[in-house]
């Protein structure tokens, strides 16, 4: 595995009014009077919990395959993380370079390649620890994919840098596919979904609640997992595992993509599975998923 970028801080205690926490998660941290540790969702323990609830979700993969085509030769997956989308893409015949800034998420992916189901694909994917906003892989790809609204984790300047890097890493006529959540009829009031699940922490099982809080007026979304870790039949410790994002609409992103020199081609609908809470699935006017397709046209 090559190393070309930054890694993350793990286990830092953040104030309860940190921008990484909103709504119920923020209030819970307040109740603990600053004594509930707040961790990065993609750090060591958070990545294990993320992997628990997302690993069997194949959402976005059919659209990546349909729009990406049956056999692109060289594919770069940005923010591949635990391989949630990488593994089914490998199964479909793609060969991948996966880039992610979290060594912990890449460790989850490496662990998956130890599983009998995925062992045969281990030599079909190369992973790189790096930052999607600035990377230089010294090669160009037929296809670059970036899923799961991860583009929302970036500021406007960082997105400009991302799209420039993507442009430079695409061959002529290469495709860039970006998926994100879209709220076509979001009002101005905050919206929150809470999903309980039993996760597996690094030391044992954990009782978890995933809080997904969207604040349209602030144009932010905060996703936080409250986890109570169980050891010897009792809660041994608790923590909040958090990440936050900027809400950018598909139209805004399409305009930014055009400014980078890429040509915006189409917006496609995406069938999303279990990462989205059941109540959201039954209300497609409130949130649904889209795939943005852009090409690098020859000069």
Ligand X SMILES: C[S@@+](CC[C@H](N)C(=O)[O-])C[C@H]1O[C@@H](n2cnc3c(N)ncnc32)[C@H](O)[C@@H]1O
- Contacts with ligand X by CB under 6 A: the residue count is 18
Nearer to ligand X, 155 or 173 (CB): 155
For the chain, counts of helices (H) and of strands (E): 8, 13
Interface with ligand X, residue 161, by CB under 6 A:
no
- Judged by CB under 6 A, the residue of 26, 74, 150, 224 near ligand X is 150
Provide, rounded to whole angstroms, the least separation between the CB of residue 42 and ligand X. Answer: 4
Q: Are 243 and 217 in contact (CB under 8 A)?
A: no
Residue 74 corresponds to which tokens in the numbers above?
């060289």
> Interface with ligand X by CB under 6 A: which range of 117-125, 142-150, 167-175, 261-269?
142-150
Q: Is 276 in the site for ligand X (CB under 6 A)?
A: no
Binding residues for ligand X restricted to 19-78, rule: CB under 6 A: 42, 54
Residue 80 engages ligand X in binding (rule: CB under 6 A): yes
Selected range binding ligand X among 9-17, 31-39, 148-156, 247-255, rule: CB under 6 A: 148-156
**Sheet bearing 141-146, strands edge to edge:** 2-3, 125-129, 96-100, 75-78, 141-146, 170-182, 288-295, 263-270
Phi, psi dihedrals of residue 197, rounded to the nearest 5°: -155, 160
Q: Which of 28, 36, 153, 276 binds ligand X (CB under 6 A)?
A: 153
Four-residue CA torsion sign, 66, 148, 268, 77: negative
Beta-ladder partners of 126: 97
Interface contacts to ligand X, rule CB under 6 A: 42, 54, 79-81, 84-85, 100-102, 105, 131-133, 147-148, 150, 153
């Amino acid at each position: 595995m090559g190393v070309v970028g930054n890694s993350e801080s793990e286990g830092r205690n953040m104030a309860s009014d940190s921008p990484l926490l909103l709504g119920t998660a923020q209030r819970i941290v307040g109740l603990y009077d600053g004594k509930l540790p707040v961790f990065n969702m993609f750090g060591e323990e958070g990545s294990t919990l993320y992997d628990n609830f997302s690993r069997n979700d194949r959402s976005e993969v059919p659209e990546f395959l349909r729009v990406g085509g049956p056999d692109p030769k060289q594919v770069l997956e940005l923010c591949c993380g635990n391989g949630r989308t990488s593994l089914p893409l490998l199964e479909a015949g793609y060969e991948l370079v996966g880039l992610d800034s979290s060594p912990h998420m890449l460790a989850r992916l490496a662990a998956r390649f130890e599983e009998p189901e995925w062992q045969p694909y281990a030599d079909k994917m190369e992973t790189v620890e790096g930052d999607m906003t600035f990377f230089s892989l010294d090669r160009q790809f037929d296809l670059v994919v970036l899923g799961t609204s991860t583009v929302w984790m970036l500021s406007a300047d960082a997105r400009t840098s991302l799209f420039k890097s993507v442009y430079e890493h695409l061959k002529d006529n290469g495709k860039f596919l970006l998926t994100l959540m879209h709220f076509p009829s979001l009002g101005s009031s905050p919206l929150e979904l809470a999903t309980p699940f039993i996760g597996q922490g690094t030391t044992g099982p954990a009782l978890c609640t995933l809080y997904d809080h969207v604040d349209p007026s602030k144009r932010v979304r905060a996703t936080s997992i409250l986890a109570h870790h169980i050891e010897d039949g009792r809660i041994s410790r608790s923590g909040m595992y958090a990440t936050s994002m900027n809400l950018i609409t598909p139209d805004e992103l399409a305009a930014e993509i055009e400014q980078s020199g890429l040509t915006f081609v189409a917006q496609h609908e995406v069938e999303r599975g279990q990462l989205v809470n059941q109540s959201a699935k039954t209300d497609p006017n409130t949130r649904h998923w889209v795939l943005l397709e852009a090409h690098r046209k020859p000069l």
